[in-house]
């Protein structure tokens, strides 16, 4: 979710956390926030679409870092689209404010390196992903590194006997945060348990 006062009341009006009907965004000034696969894929999809481009739509991708969590192929494609002016890419930035006229979005204020950038916008698409929260398991004596649990990649057991971890929370050398990897991890952990 966006952490800006009073923004949530515009959810499903001009603030979106998913795309229901792609055509509803044609001819609009879209600003997409995120740096993972969902944000990159939608930025590429809209910026590459001749229907979207021909309708007068524009795409701006804003990411809070200069390193992306999406696939290398998608990152390279976004950079190529930015270089050819098919989309605007703004790194190391975050939303600081929004301006409305009635219930319609008019502009966004983006903070980047102590300066404010104002972007004309009709719709805001947010694809931040999930932020892991360990909750009570943080006190179980597990070997934890930066909100992930270190596991043995042979069976996904933690440093505590009988406790296994799989998916994005599990950490081991060569870890890839992919759904496919999670299925593999689940099978090995289930057999070990």
pLDDT in tens, 6-53: 999 999 999 999 999 999 999 999 999 999 999 999 999 999 999 998
Residue in this structure with the two tokens 């605007």, named with its chain if needed? 88
| CB 14, CB 122: distance < 8 Å | yes
What is the value of pTM for the model shown? Answer: 0.73
pLDDT in tens, 41-61: 999 999 999 999 899 999 999
Q: What is the rounded average pLDDT of the residues 59-72?
A: 91
Helix axes 72-83, 37-48, angle to 10 degrees: 40
Cα–Cα dist 135/191, whole Å: 26
Long-range CB contact pairs, 141-147, < 8 A, 24+ = 145/171
Q: 72 pairs with which residues across the strands?
A: none
Q: What is the rounded average pLDDT of the residues 166-193?
A: 93
Q: What is the pLDDT of residue 146?
A: 82
For residue 109, give both structure tokens.
């204020």
Residue 86 has pLDDT above 90, yes or no: yes
Q: What is the rounded average pLDDT of the residues 110-126?
A: 95
Residue 131 has pLDDT above 70, yes or no: no
CA angle 46, 47, 49 (to 5 degrees): 65
For residue 80, give both structure tokens.
């190529």
Q: What is the rounded average pLDDT of the residues 105-109?
A: 97
DSSP 173: T
Q: What is the rounded average pLDDT of the residues 126-150?
A: 86
Q: What is the pLDDT of residue 130?
A: 63
């Amino acid at each position: 979710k966006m952490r800006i006062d009073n923004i949530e009341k515009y959810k499903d009006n001009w603030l979106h956390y998913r795309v229901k009907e792609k055509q509803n965004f044609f001819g609009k000034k879209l600003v997409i926030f995120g740096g993972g696969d969902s944000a990159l894929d939608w930025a590429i999809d809209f910026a590459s679409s001749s229907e979207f481009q021909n309708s007068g739509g524009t795409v701006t991708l804003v990411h809070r870092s200069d390193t992306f969590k999406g696939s290398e192929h998608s990152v390279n494609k976004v950079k190529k689209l930015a270089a050819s002016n098919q989309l605007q890419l703004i790194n190391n930035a975050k939303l600081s404010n929004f301006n409305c006229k009635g219930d319609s979005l008019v502009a966004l204020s983006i903070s980047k390196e102590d300066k404010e950038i104002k972007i004309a916008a009709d719709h805001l698409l947010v694809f931040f992903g999930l932020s892991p929260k360990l909750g009570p398991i943080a006190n179980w004596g597990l070997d934890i590194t930066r909100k992930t649990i270190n596991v043995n990649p042979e069976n996904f057991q933690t440093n505590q006997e009988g406790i296994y971890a799989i998916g994005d929370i599990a950490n081991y050398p060569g870890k890839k945060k992919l759904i496919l990897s999670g299925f593999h991890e689940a099978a090995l952990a289930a057999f070990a348990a």
